[in-house]
Structure 1
Amino acid sequence: MRALAVLSPSLYEKTDARKRHLFAIDQHQIPLGFVTANPPDFDTNATTTANYVLVRKTSFSLNYRDLGIIEQAWKKVRDMEQETFYPIGSDFCGIVEEVGSNVTTLQVGDKVIGNNFFPYPEDNAMPGIPSNHASREFEIYHHGKLMKVPDGIPEEQAGSMSIGAQTAAAMIRKANIKDGDVVLVTSVTSNTSFFFLNLLKDKNCTVYGLSYSGKNTDTVKRHFPFIKEIFSFKDMAFPDHLYFDVVLDAFADTYLTALCSRLNFNARYLTCGIYNQSTEKMKTAEKINLTTLIADLMFRNVQLIANCLGTGEDLKNGIDGFKNDTLVIDQVFTDENALTSFLEKTYNSEGNKFGKVSFKYS
């Protein structure tokens, strides 16, 4: 069984140099690498596995949230003398290999992705992301934490979409977008925003974008031609008459306070994340004046909706939005010796990445 993992120092030294990489987060140089281990045992007749299935991963991807997980995992293993590791990864696609005796919703051979429903249980399974170890080639899941993928979605796309599609569908549902609404999507070149945009294309609303870096905006316009205009966050040169009914924001700590004055009365501002996730970035992040922020939101009767993931129905709706389209995939890696390139491409901030980066097990 293969996995991409945070490595203890002693294991890093013994790992093939082509399959390891020192990954920088703030002042940390965190050792990552591909490892091999025994797959988990799965007895189809045992009562302990009656509601579970064994999945063989065919692809996985890393998300922005994995940065915080990588940092916290490193803090746990960096002082350990023994050779140990912590597998990482949030999204995956896999094939069901074994099925417990009580499972009727899945069968061997089904192509599945994680179902991250939250905050309430579904199908007698616990809410939340099924695994923080999605790169593990074999993993056991409760059947309720998985959803079958339509045949028309390739593995590299399926292994990059469940968290983004579920989150975007939930936020658009909660936004209650009405005909004629003016919608702003922030960080318009980010992966999360691509999910928003794909699900907005059939809405009868006017969509604008906001870009922090200003890079790749022409490519975004070509891919999503219904976007009326993309503005630069550094300029904030909105026309005087332009106010927004809905804002879909991936990074609240970057945009919320700056956009308050551009919100219509009764606007809905929805966010699903923060940019400053590492320990050092949190310490140095610019502090906001909470009193002023709340006063601005109250004055306009704004609904501020903080969203985490979504329901199983949201995931289904999100997947349906990609049946006749293709998730924006920048590059697919298949060689474990290309780990450095995979990581650098995944978290590239220089503007030459457009879409998700997938790793496909060969």
Structure 2
Amino acid sequence: MEKYSNVIVFEPELDSNDGVQISIDQDEYGFSLVDIPMNHYETDLDDFSVLVRINAFSCNYRDKGYLKLFLNRCHDQKKHYYSFFGSEFSGEVIKVGRLVKSFKRGDRVMPDHCYPFKTDRIMGGIITNIASKRIQRFRESELIKIPDNMTDVEAAAFSLSAMTSNSMVKKANITSGDKVLVTSFFSNTAFGCLEILKELKDIELYALTTHPDGANQLKGHFNLKKVFNPSDFMDNSKMEGLLFNVILDPFVDIHIDCLSNYLNFNSRYITCGISNNKTTVNLQNACYNLIKSNSVLIGNCLGTRKDLEEVTQKYVDGRYVIHIDSVYTGDQLLPFISRTFNERHTGKVIYKY
């Protein structure tokens, strides 16, 4: 039976020499590269399923939470399990169901995480939390072809941030002369928003980060007018009366208390997420500022197939850069996991089989 290498996570036993061990947010995890055979469940396809061999994968902010849930389950059940992890990938089709029309063997594919519904009207959302699993079965509607000029590494870093950022920018309804602030500069979603916004010549584009020195190195690439540090918003004199027409914020609980004070009239505050930091939000202050400025707070979850297709075309046309921080392969598990979850990075961290 054919075997494939898989990157797995497991709860390490004391004094174990299996794989590599690393601490993430003070919890100990084990990671290893193991050979796992294909089984009949993976190869027996229904009419609309596609079997994919994963070539590269990456993790997102939310995957750290899934690792913690896995560890808690091991502790609660007093079992030593292993699991796969990750939420983005690129792969190659190795088998298709009888009624699949969009793909054939050998096609390169990446996820379509569209929400709220897939193209076949099945409930949408992120299609996997186990992207490191080498052989996976998906519905036809959960995949999209990788363009010829996009590498496997780039494709494993693309879908989530591309579709989410495009959806956020469109909901913001940006018009000529708008002052636009993008928060959490080094997040994947922020990079996606900035890649789309950099083409708009008649707006003022700003960024917010706790690491302005690193952000300033990309200031020219994104056509940023200024990069702010959070402390700048604590001193009105530093803001010089600046008010924003649009705020694009990946982590609303971190920023809205402060940033709602800097909304212009009829502004749009778009957000797609909440941090894991258990931040306390002064809801009364935020709502007061939204009401006072006649502004709207708009939530955004992922994006549509059209959002993904539009950004894919921008990439094909050379108008959208996929930012890759680093690529690891083989037994480079320790640096891959450390870089992904414990270190600040600029762009996505990829593991390539």
Give the alignment's TM-score, normalised by structure 2: 0.91
Report the counterpart of residue 259 of structure 2 in structure 1.
259
How far off its partner does 1:99 sit? 0.4
Report the counterpart of residue 289 of structure 1 in structure 2.
282
Q: What SS does the aligned partner of 1:305 have?
A: strand
1:202-232 deviations in Å (ceiling 9; x for gaps):
22422111112334122221432x1111111
Cα 1:12–1:273 shift into 2, 3 Å? farther
Unaligned runs of 5+ in 1: none
How far off its partner does 1:11 sit? 11
Report the counterpart of residue 356 of structure 1 in structure 2.
348
Report the counterpart of residue 96 of structure 2 in structure 1.
99
Taking the aligned partners of 2:15 and 2:85, their CA distance within structure 1 comes to 15
Report the counterpart of residue 41 of structure 1 in structure 2.
40
1:147-158 alignment runs, 5 A limit: 147-158=144-155
Report the counterpart of residue 23 of structure 2 in structure 1.
23
Q: Which moved more, 1:94-103 or 1:117-126?
A: 117-126
1:7-44 deviations in Å (ceiling 9; x for gaps):
1345993623xxx222322x422333333322243687
Q: What amino acid maps onto 1:316 in structure 2?
A: E
* 2:3 maps to 1:4: no
Taking the aligned partners of 2:211 and 2:274, their CA distance within structure 1 comes to 16
Among 66, 75, 78, the alignment partner of 1:78 is 75
Taking the aligned partners of 2:35 and 2:169, their CA distance within structure 1 comes to 40
Report the counterpart of residue 140 of structure 2 in structure 1.
143
Cα 1:7–1:80 shift into 2, 3 Å? farther
State the identity as a percent: 34
Taking the aligned partners of 2:42 and 2:36, their CA distance within structure 1 comes to 19
Cα 1:14–1:124 shift into 2, 3 Å? farther
Report the counterpart of residue 207 of structure 1 in structure 2.
205
Taking the aligned partners of 2:257 and 2:298, their CA distance within structure 1 comes to 14
Note if contact 1:11-1:83 (Cα within 8 Å) is conserved in structure 2.
no
1:266-315 deviations in Å (ceiling 9; x for gaps):
1111111222x2xxx42xx3x22222221211111111111110111111
Report the counterpart of residue 301 of structure 1 in structure 2.
294
Taking the aligned partners of 2:185 and 2:196, their CA distance within structure 1 comes to 14
Unaligned runs of 5+ in 2: none
Taking the aligned partners of 1:74 and 1:178, their CA distance within structure 2 comes to 47
Q: What SS does the aligned partner of 2:239 have?
A: coil
Cα 1:43–1:341 shift into 2, 3 Å? closer
Give the RMSD, CA atoms, in angstroms: 2.1
Taking the aligned partners of 2:82 and 2:42, their CA distance within structure 1 comes to 25
Taking the aligned partners of 1:175 and 1:344, their CA distance within structure 2 comes to 35
Q: What amino acid maps onto 2:221 in structure 1?
A: H
Q: What SS does the aligned partner of 1:106 have?
A: coil
Note if contact 1:189-1:216 (Cα within 8 Å) is conserved in structure 2.
no
Q: What amino acid maps onto 1:179 in structure 2?
A: S
Taking the aligned partners of 1:187 and 1:197, their CA distance within structure 2 comes to 11
Taking the aligned partners of 1:244 and 1:209, their CA distance within structure 2 comes to 11
Report the counterpart of residue 332 of structure 1 in structure 2.
327
Taking the aligned partners of 2:84 and 2:332, their CA distance within structure 1 comes to 18
Taking the aligned partners of 1:155 and 1:121, their CA distance within structure 2 comes to 23
* 2:307 maps to 1:314: yes
Note if contact 2:324-2:347 (Cα within 8 Å) is conserved in structure 1.
yes
Cα 1:344–1:8 shift into 2, 3 Å? closer
Cα 1:230–1:37 shift into 2, 3 Å? same
How far off its partner does 1:83 sit? 4.6
Q: What SS does the aligned partner of 1:94 have?
A: strand
Note if contact 2:58-2:351 (Cα within 8 Å) is conserved in structure 1.
yes
Report the counterpart of residue 179 of structure 1 in structure 2.
176
Note if contact 1:168-1:195 (Cα within 8 Å) is conserved in structure 2.
yes
Q: What amino acid maps onto 1:30 in structure 2?
A: Y
